[in-house]
Amino acid sequence: MKDLSDQNPPEAVVVMACQNATEFLSTLSPRNERWCLGPNPDWLYRGHADARWKLVPKALRADGWGTIQKEFTDKYLPLPNTADAQILAEYSVINYFVEAADRQGISLPEDSIRFREVFVKWSNENPVHSAFLTPRKWPSPELLPIMAAAQHHGVPTRLLDWSRRSYIAAYFAASEFAKRLWEYQLLTDRGCSIESDISEIAVWSLSTEYLHMQPVGVEVIKAPAGANPNLAAQKGIFTLVRETEKRGHPANTQGLEERLEADAFPPPLVKVTMPIRDVPKLLRFLSAEYVDAASMFPGLDGVAKRVFEQPLWDSYRMRQEKKQRD
């Protein structure tokens, strides 16, 4: 395994490049001494299907869903690209999430008549008014449980998902790439010439032990998992970095790795990478550890995902071998 942090030193990040699935899992193993250093080691893990992706919350990304200020709220009223406009967009999305859940009779954490009177309705007590004037106050603590529930179900917020288990993060990195690979294969089989430009997957590891020493405050949000079996199974947890810009200024869309102090010791972030060629083998190894779709998504939906996932273990390897023979 190569430590690339000196060759290409991103801020506050140590990069560890693994060459295969065995080395990748060995590096991420909770028995690896790297994750046991310090008086109170506490690491969070996040998987990325593309090692180039940054640690940017979904609500602040410029691609994919896009900044929700542009892709969502602009459909109803034009807004400037400012920190306070971004907050209005995020608040609107959470409001729609609460309303849609209520229509279906789905309970949400910390929901109550008082919550709806203050936070859902546009009342004078609603703390979002204060957040418009001082963006760093967004979101208020009362909104965090519902934001976490929304985030975990794919709604864009400024929370970032993590897991307390490294192998779970590895699964999500590998399965997301496998899903993209399946889409590429379908298009290729239909005569489209498409190749993925992804070369590596990654698991980001964040040490929370010394976060309090960072100049940019990173909050760790522990959402209640009792009513969310997926969150419990995935050992889910969230981080929040509040807005640093003032009202009227462009929203800060930097990744977490760009916000943390570069010279911190020990480095708060470790990025472990692996070539995509070993993704099928990685999924097979993880399933042997009972880390697969069936265990990540309790219920028959997870079992069905597992059924569709398994053929990808061999299809990619077989295609690569055929390419080499040809």
The pLDDT of 246-272, averaged and rounded, is: 84
User: What's phi and psi for 50, nearest 5 deg?
Assistant: -135, 120
Q: What is the pLDDT of residue 6?
A: 47
- CB under 8 A, 24+ apart: contacts of 98-106: 98/146
- Pairwise CA distance, residues 42 & 291, whole Å: 21
> Which residues, including other chains, have CB under 8 Å from residue 106's CB and lie 6 or more apart?
none
Helix (H) or strand (E) holding 272: strand 269-275
Cα torsion 313, 316, 318, 323 to 10°: value is -170
Q: What is the pLDDT of residue 315?
A: 62
Minimum mean pLDDT range among 154-158, 185-189, 209-213, 216-220:
185-189
| pLDDT > 80? residue 293 | yes
Percent of the chain scoring above 90 in pLDDT: 34
The pLDDT of 251-275, averaged and rounded, is: 84
Amino acid identity of residue 107, one-letter, is S
Q: What is the pLDDT of residue 296?
A: 95
- Residues 79-92 have pLDDT tens digits of 567 888 888 888 88
Q: What single DSSP character describes residue 56?
A: -
The model carries a pTM of: 0.85
| pLDDT > 80? residue 17 | yes
- Residues 24-71 have pLDDT tens digits of 999 999 999 989 877 778 899 999 999 999 999 998 887 534 455 555
Minimum mean pLDDT range among 232-236, 297-301, 312-316:
312-316
